[in-house]
Amino acid sequence: MRTPLDVLTLDELRRRTSVKWRAFDPDVLPLFVAEMDVAPCEAVVDAVTAALRAGDTGYDVGTTYGEAYARFAARRWGWSVDASTSRTLPDVMLAIVEVLRVLTAPGDAVVVNPPVYPPFYGFTANEGRRVVDAPLGTDGRLDLDALERAFAVATGVAANGRGPGSGRRAVWLVCNPQNPTGTTHTPAELEAGLALAARYGVRVVADEIHAPLTRPGLDGRPATTHTPLLAVPGSEQAVAIVSASKAWNLPGLKAAAAVAGPGAADDLRRIPEEASHGVQHVSVLAHVAALDHGEEWLDAVLAGVERNAWLLADLLAEHLPAVGYRPGEATYLAWLDCRGIDDGPSSDGVPAPAHDPRGWFLDRARVALEDGRRFGVGGEGHVRLNLATGVDVLTEAVERMGDSVRTAV
């Protein structure tokens, strides 16, 4: 099976100048940041080339982005998006910030579900909001009891949503699907979370950047699907931030849209017009082309990601059997539990990999992964690995990692 992940050689990839290929020395295999090692989607290449040749490089206007996402969502999930109320914004995290500014004030709380995308912490803190953790369960799924406790802390409302509360506003910022675990929240989980939020007066904002990246189901395995938050009962006052960035490997061509339930449309209108000034028109054209004409390419990428997810399971069983791993339901990211690796000291005094697996594998295997501690509670002893690469790169990376552990003592 040949996919867009299998087109470019490692030498060709190293000609790229993005952070993935410039952050480390050339002998390091970079499987950290969320960039895919893919040949680009030709529909996107054609759209950007045509825009540059035509000089269509001015300021963006209107709801073109939201309209394209609505068409994609209708085909992919049967979800009807009201694009007329959408707001095109520079990227996902800046869109989240703008929505938080409308829904909360400095000192208000934002509830998150760690382990979770690290910028949820940094961007929230930079806006003067306080983060309240509601960790995922040990199964990687939403823990409704933890969520209710966090809502009570965030709002000052007593258990079961009774009592006057602190008078402060709060937002539940949910990663849907979840990064780094790859969990796809079910309709029942999301509906229960929305009901709890309503009981405590908490508004809900979903980061759905990984929504298109669910598993197609290969070799008899079940396919998975994304449940848009706004398609779930009780989401009338919720907001979702959507983007083609991750699914079509466009992090350097940033764009996003905020879409709202009917009760939150006025909130999007309150985002100041200046927030749209950073939107890059060529980026919007690239994303629209991906959404309208890039599904065949996306499906080919997803086939390669699923193949790699199960290949990784086999490679770990052979070379690093003490590492815990369960293929996720979405994203092209793998969440590896390294706490089972021998915790004893190495022969040269370097801390064992269970203490700092990211540092260990970078120094001793020359493989760059994301440090699980950056993802908050539950990230200790973990690393995140990017599956969106070629079979040869993934295989060599795990072999190197296994060798580094076997030869350490």
Judge contact between 32 and 20, C-beta under 8 A: yes
227 and 116, same structural domain?
A: yes
Same domain, 357 and 289: no
Q: What are phi and psi of 330, to 5 degrees?
A: -160, 175
210, 331 Cβ separation under 8 angstroms: yes
pLDDT higher than threshold 70 for residue 348: no
pLDDT of residue 294: 98
Look at residue 73 and tell me if it is in a domain. yes
In this structure, the answer to whether residues 235 and 170 fall within a common structural domain is: yes
Do residues 248 and 337 share a domain? Answer: no
Identify the domain boundary among 293, 308, 326: 293
As a whole number of angstroms, the distance between CA 200 and CA 196 comes to: 6
Q: Residue 343: what pLDDT? A: 60
pTM to 2 decimal places: 0.95
133 and 36 inside one domain? no
CA dihedral 235, 241, 242, 248 (to 10 degrees): -140
326 lies in the same domain as 382:
yes
How confident is the model at residue 180, as a pLDDT? 98
Instruction: Average the pLDDT over 272-294 and give the result.
Output: 97
Q: What is the pLDDT of residues 29-70, one digit of tens each?
A: 999 999 999 999 999 999 999 999 999 999 999 999 999 999
The boundaries of the domain holding residue 158 are 58-293
Here the CATH number for the domain that contains residue 223 is 3.40.640.10
Name the DSSP letter for residue 124: H
CA separation, residue 258 to residues 80, 225, 279, 355 (Å):
14, 21, 13, 40
Structure tokens at 304: 């390669």
| Torsion angles phi and psi, residue 163, rounded to 5 | 105, 165
- Report angle CA 317, 319, 323 to the nearest 5 degrees: 60
Q: Report pLDDT for 33.
A: 98
The position carrying tokens 């970079």 is: 30
Determine contact, residues 341/86, Cβ cutoff 8 Å. no
pLDDT in tens, 206-221: 999 999 999 999 889 9
Q: What's the rounded mean pLDDT across residues 316-342?
A: 96
Confidence of residue 355 (pLDDT cuts 50, 70, 90): confident
Q: What is the CA radius of gyration of the chain?
A: 21
Q: What is the CATH number of the domain that holds 329?
A: 3.90.1150.10
Q: In the chain, pLDDT over 70 holds for what percent of residues?
A: 95
Please report whether residue 47 resides in a domain: no
3 inside domain: no
Q: What is the pLDDT of residues 122-166, one digit of tens each?
A: 999 999 999 999 999 999 999 999 999 999 999 998 655 555 566
Max Cα distance, the chain (Å): 63
Q: How far apart are CA 72 and CA 248, in angstroms?
A: 13
Are 79 and 195 found together in one domain?
yes
Q: Is the peptide bond before 115 cis (omega within 30 degrees of 0)?
A: yes
Q: For residue 169, what pLDDT is reported?
A: 95
pLDDT tens readout for residues 86-110: 999 999 999 999 999 999 999 999 9
Instruction: Specify whether 156 is located in the same domain as 219.
Output: yes
Q: Are 164 and 142 in contact (CB under 8 A)?
A: no
Q: Which of 118, 76, 31 is nearest to 333 (CA)?
A: 31
The pLDDT score that the predictor gives to residue 210 is 98
Number of structural domains the chain divides into: 2
Q: Is 260 helix (H, G, I), strand (E, B) or coil?
A: strand
Does 164 fall in a domain? yes
DSSP string, 67-98: HHHHHHHHHHH-----GGG-EEES-HHHHHHH
Reading the block at residue 166, the tokens are 């602190």
- Judged by DSSP in three states, 162 sits in strand
Do both 281 and 135 map to the same domain?
yes
Q: 329 pLDDT exceeds 90? A: yes
Mean pLDDT of 171-184: 98
Tokens of 396: 């060599």
What DSSP designation does 363 have? I
- For residue 347, the model assigns a pLDDT of 53
Same domain, yes or no: 213 and 105? yes
Residues 257 and 364 in one domain: no
Q: What is the pLDDT of residue 160?
A: 57
Answer yes or no: do 255 and 219 share one domain: yes
359-399 pLDDT per residue, tens:
999 999 999 999 999 999 999 999 999 999 999 999 999 99
Q: Quick one: pLDDT band at residue 1, thresholds 50, 70, 90?
A: confident
**Which class for 49: exposed (0-12), middle (13-18), buried (19 or more C-beta within 10 A)?**
exposed
- The pLDDT value given to residue 342: 73
